Structure 1
Amino acid sequence: MPDPAYPTQSPVACAVRSACPRCGRGHLFKGFLQVAPSCDACGLDYAFADPADGPAFFVMMTTAIPAVAFGLWLELTYNPPVWLHFVLTLPVVLIACTLPLRFFKGWLVASQYVHRAAEGRLARPAPARTDPAAKPEPSGPA
């Protein structure tokens, strides 16, 4: 899948810039989280891109836990009224869990391209030899 006419792009660099994993110039997203149909610079078709729930998993493991820990710390340390949690904790959780989604989705799509990730396929057995002149291979120890 990677094209030798283009230099290999770093998946992290593509994710930071939200850039095409092949050319590094085109846009990867159409909107905030929707992957564009193709690159507007080199024409790479993004049909291969399927990060599924990967970005949400990485966000939960890296930012959601500290954001929720902030709310717990606030509650256990100061015991504020509920409205203060709505004013402080809710925005922290929403921002901490929404902003990194774009980075992680771009990183996973770029990684799929760079590492040629594809859906698993069953290997088909090699066709049987039908050459009548071929000698059968001996079986058993020699």
Structure 2
Amino acid sequence: AGLLVGGTGGVLVAGGAGGAGEPEGVVVAQGQLDPLPGWEAGGEAVVEETADGTRELVVTLEGGDGLEGYREVWLIDREVSRLVSLGVLEGGEGRFVVPAGLDLAEFPVVDVSDEPYNGDPSHSGDSIIRGLLDT
């Protein structure tokens, strides 16, 4: 019986880690992501706050074929002058921790870009989809 309980606990822990699309907390912001010129794509961004106060940005992307590199997820200010990279989007869906202290009212724009494999960590200037979070 102890093995069964341990096995079940393992399954629950693994299930709790979950896929990117599983709800993890309360939705605190969301927005539609629209294609930029030259791209046929769309998506959605949802910010969830977990019980411990961690905020996670869940990004879904449909389309966006024809990449020259990899897809990177950014939070950007309204003037599109300051930006924070959250990480690489692998596949059509990803979950990214929003840094503690980052004010989503100051960085409400979600952007997914096509980044070349050139070692330059700055934004390529080639955005696939972008949208404004409704906070």
TM-score (norm 2): 0.19
More helix by share: 1
Which entry has the higher C-alpha Rg, 1 or 2?
A: 1
Higher strand share: 2
Bigger RCO of structures 1 and 2 (CA < 8 A, at least 6 apart): 1
